[in-house]
Each structure stands twice: as C-alpha cells, then as structure tokens.
Structure 1
C-alpha cells in the first residue's frame, strides 16, 4: 500500500526552463566570484567538481565533501576563503534565479490534497545544491518546506541520481519500504530508476527529460493536470 510520495523538484514540483535556469545560475555565481575566476573558468570547475560528486560511491563522503574535494584540486585558492562567499550567494544572490521558474496550480493543489489524505511527502531532488538553495526552490514552487518529512540536500546525502543508492539512502532516512513509495519525476532515467527498487513511478511529461525511449520503469505518466486527477483518485489514509 502506498503511503509515501517522493517528488523530484526541478521540472516536477517546480516548473522551469532548465537551460535558462542553468545559464542564469552560472551568470550570478560568476558575478559573486568574479575576483577569483573568469566566467569560463568557474563554469568549467563547477561542472568538473559536480561530475566527480555525481560519480562518488564512497558512503563516507557527503556530496558536499566530494564536491569540494575535487574543487580544491582545481583551484589555487583556499576553499576556506571561498566558502563564506558560496554561503552568502545561496542566501542572497540565488533568489535572482527565480525569474526562470514558475508555479503549477495543479501541483500546489495535488500537494495539499495529498497532505489532507494523510500521505507522507518527500522532496527527492538531485542533491547537488545546498539546503538553502533547495528551500528557496520549494518556496518558489508555491510550497512550504514543512509539507515534507524529508528533503534531500548537498550537505546530508552521499549519492546523486541516477545512482540507485540515492533512493536507498532516502528509504533509510524515512524508514520506509520501497513497496510503500511512489516516485514522481520528469526525468525518464534519473527519476524512474526508482522502479528498480520496487517503487511505483509516475512520469511528469511537462519539462520532460529523456535520453532513450525505454519506458519499462514507468507505471503512470501524464501532465500536471493529469497528475492532479490521479491524486484525486488515491485513497485517503487518514480520516
């Protein structure tokens, strides 16, 4: 019986143009760190460090630790000097990226209805950003961080999508069996892979990301409106 719903964030809970989002992100981060890097240098080093983090399989390293381990190898500056600037960026400057995102009233209504029906909700975003940046994006989506019992983040998680360990780590944190969970996301490979653990899956077709036509991991699919109708049909767990 499904009792827990996991949601991807970017392109699922939060409608956005990923290309515009990424471009604006690097522009604003480049402005923040302009005294240390050219825009091209910073983009190259951030992507290289992110790639290393995504490939990390050491359960003793958080994503944050893996990222900065690689980043430190690529720069001449002490990461202790840059760390306060990164933290300040995510508190103040990151909000400028909001203009590349939107809201879905169907998602907002679906979340409210799921709460009313007693489902446990999780934000299962790819944890490549600090908690502060993730909470900003939840708010931009018209939602409240308190709607969710667990939120994946850069500081806490040890794996990234599409590694299956990412989903296993969530299950450990929420003490839940995969058969009781449904994963909702817009990425055919990175989100629907949760099916391999035994989760039910729902592919959001708006802002769809897919690298193949293989749909074997997809149980349900539809746009935001269809998902809301699907939620309306789910049984209530609470009276």
Structure 2
C-alpha cells in the first residue's frame, strides 16, 4: 500500500534552472573564500570532491566525511580553519541565491493535502549539501521542515543519487518497503532510477532533466499541476 511520498527538491518542489543555480552558487562561494582561494582553484576542488562523494559507496562514511576527505587532499589549508567559513556561508551567504528561484504555490497546497490524508513525506534531494542549505531551499519552496519525516542531507546520508543505495538507505531509515512509496522528481536518471527497486515514480516535467541514458520509464508523468490533480485523487489513509 502506498503511504509515503519521496520528493526531489530542486526542479521539483522548487522550480529552478540548475545551470543558473550552479553559477550563482559558485559565484557566492568564491566571494566568501576570496581571501583564501583563487576562484578557479576552489571550483575545481569542490567539483572534484563532489564527484568523489557521489561515486563513493563506503557505507560507514557519511557524504560529508567523503567530501572533506577528498577536499583536504586538494587544498593546502587546515580544514578546522575552513569549517567555520563554510558554516557561515551556508547559514548566511547562501540565501543570496534565492533571487533566482520562484516558488510554485501549488506545491504547498499539494503537500498540505497529502499531510491531511495521512501520508508520510520525505525530502529526497540529492544530499550534496549541508542541512542549512537544504533547509533554506525548503523554505524558499514555501514549505516547512516539519512537513517531512526525513530530509536527506550530506550529514545524515551515506550515498548520493543516482546510486540505488541512496534509495535503499531512505527506505531503511523510515522503515518502509519499496511498494509503500512513490518517488516524485524531475530528473530521469537521478529520480526515476528508484523504480529499479520497485518504487513507483512520478516524473514532473516542468524542469525536466533527461540525459537519455540510462533510460527509465516513470509510472506517472506530467506538470506540477498534473501532480496536484494526482494528489487530490489519492485515498485517505
């Protein structure tokens, strides 16, 4: 029985252009670290360490552990001195990115309907960022962190999308089986891959990302308006 919905965040609950978001993110990050790193050097290190984090499947290491393990190898600086700057960036400076996103009011309405019907909700965003950055984006979408049973962040997860282990870990953390859940996302390769486990999927096409390979077929697809209509038809639990 379906009783849980897993939601991607960027491009799904929060409409945005990922390329524009990435450019703005690195602009703000480079400004924050301008007295320590050359912009190109910082971007290369962050990209490389993010790639390492995504590909790492060591279950005893959190994504945060993986990122900074690799990052330390690429920079000639004491991490203990960098951590407070990263923390301040994600707490304060990260909000400067907000001006490139536009929340969709129907998202909040859909979430409220699902809550009223008794469904468990999860933010299943790719856990590449600390919780502060993810909590900011939940707020930008017009939602509350308390709406969700679990929010995946780089502190609490050990795998990233598109690894199937990411979805297995979510199910384990919330004590659910694949046939209890629907994954709602806009990225075919990162979100619809969850169907391999037997999770039902809804592909939101408003900010569609499809690299064509590997190819996955969603159970449902349409705009966020279509998803809203889908939510209204779901039974009460």
* Equivalences for residues 201-216 of structure 1 within 5 A: 201-212=201-212, 216=216
Q: Distance in 2 between matches of 1:215 and 1:85?
A: 40
Q: What does residue 31 of structure 1 align with?
A: 31
Q: Distance in 2 between matches of 1:140 and 1:222?
A: 23
Q: Distance in 2 between matches of 1:81 and 1:165?
A: 33
Q: What does residue 154 of structure 1 align with?
A: 154
Gaps of 5+ in 2: none
* 2:44 paired with 1:57: no
Shift of residue 216, structure 1, vs aligned partner: 4.1
* 2:118 paired with 1:118: yes
Do the aligned partners of 2:189 and 2:216 also contact (CA within 8 Å) in 1? no
Q: Distance in 2 between matches of 1:22 and 1:165?
A: 25
Q: Distance in 1 between matches of 2:105 and 2:184?
A: 16
SS of equivalent to 1:189: helix
Q: Distance in 1 between matches of 2:220 and 2:213?
A: 15
Shift of residue 217, structure 1, vs aligned partner: 3.1
Runs of 4+ in 1 over 2 A off after TM superposition: 213-217
Deviation per CA, 1:134-154: give whole Å up to 9, x if none: 000000000000000000001
Shift of residue 213, structure 1, vs aligned partner: 7.1
Q: Distance in 1 between matches of 2:75 and 2:189?
A: 33
Q: Distance in 1 between matches of 2:31 and 2:219?
A: 43
- Alignment RMSD: 1.0
Q: Distance in 2 between matches of 1:37 and 1:231?
A: 47
Q: Distance in 2 between matches of 1:70 and 1:217?
A: 35
Q: Distance in 1 between matches of 2:37 and 2:64?
A: 21
Q: Distance in 2 between matches of 1:210 and 1:235?
A: 31
Shift of residue 214, structure 1, vs aligned partner: 6.7
TM-score norm. by structure 1 comes to 0.97
* 2:207 paired with 1:220: no
Distance 1:214 1:67, change over 3 A: closer
Gaps of 5+ in 1: none
TM-score norm. by structure 2 comes to 0.98
